[in-house]
Amino acid sequence: MASKSRSKQINFPLSKRLKLNGIPAWVHSFALGGTGLVLLIALVIFWWLKDVPVWSDWKPAAEFLYPEYGERIYPDSVFRTRMNTWSNIFYVCFGCYAMTLAVYDWKKKLPLNRGYLTFAPLQTFLLGISGLYLGLGSGFFHASLTHYGQQCDVGAMYATLIVLVSFALGSWLPKMRVPKTQGLFPTWPVLSVLVVLGSIYFTYYKWEYSFTEISGYLSGILFLFAGVSAITPGKYLQFRWFLAGLLCLVLGSKIRDLDISDQFTGPDSLLQGHAIWHVLTCGMYVCLFLYFRSEEREAKG
């Protein structure tokens, strides 16, 4: 019976493994509509305040005083850096799609054997919120180059990484037995609360911690439990999505380093290294999301 179940799951077409087959039009309409609305608001703000020094009285970030990235800074504009700001629309689009897919998953109510994420759509919704937070927070930072903008930017990176860690932990342990009880209870409510509290905490106390150090710990937990899920008997994930995510990260990091050392493009180029970093890290989030979404389990019984 187990081998028959395994054969059925492994032979699922790609779209069914990812639970993206037959996506209704309203999913795309809401996701693209939300992205378009954010883009329209940004265009109006840029057109209206392009040459207005709205950030002059705000506490500047170190990036404004001692520029690290290669793009030209316009001190007296609402968008002090241009492409590094506009490129955050990719995070916004990812966030809108994740939130809309979460609603779609909630309506379908798939069982756990079709994968942890579709079984616990609130987790996908939280990833969507963190993606939207990242797009708006990073956009705010690169537009303003202010102290508070940097706090939102880094806080959003923490939030997105924390959600992905919760995916790995939930996939590893989707249900657990509460002491002195006979039943199994889902872990996603506890993980969701921890995601929200952790994201708020690290946003508020951003300046108390080294992002490099904390993100290193979180990434280690993510990679460890994502790997454990990949080798767990009776569970199947498309590991190529995980490798594709790592490739996006490595390539994006290389381009970002070239940009910091002024070896990528000129200050007025449309292809800014840090903007491409935004696109590639968004690609990493998409790939890791698809990796966990590809999960299938052998049905028990």
Residue pLDDT, tens place only, 204-262: 999 999 999 999 999 999 999 988 888 888 899 999 999 999 999 999 999 999 999 99
Q: What is the C-alpha to C-alpha distance for residues 216 and 157, in angstroms, rounded to an integer?
A: 12
Radius of gyration of the chain (CA): 21
In eight-state DSSP terms, residue 146 is B
Give the largest Cα separation in the chain, rounded. 69
The residues pairing with 176 across neighbouring beta strands, listed in sequence order, are: 185
Q: What is the pLDDT of residues 78-113, one digit of tens each?
A: 999 999 999 999 999 999 999 999 999 999 999 999
φ, ψ for residue 146, nearest 5 deg: -110, 165
Query: d(Cα 154, Cα 131) in Å, to the nearest integer?
Result: 12
256 CB neighbour count, 10 Å cutoff? 20
Percent above pLDDT 90 for the chain = 85
Over residues 15-53, the pLDDT tens digits come to 788 999 889 999 999 999 999 999 999 999 999 999 999
State pTM to two decimals. 0.92
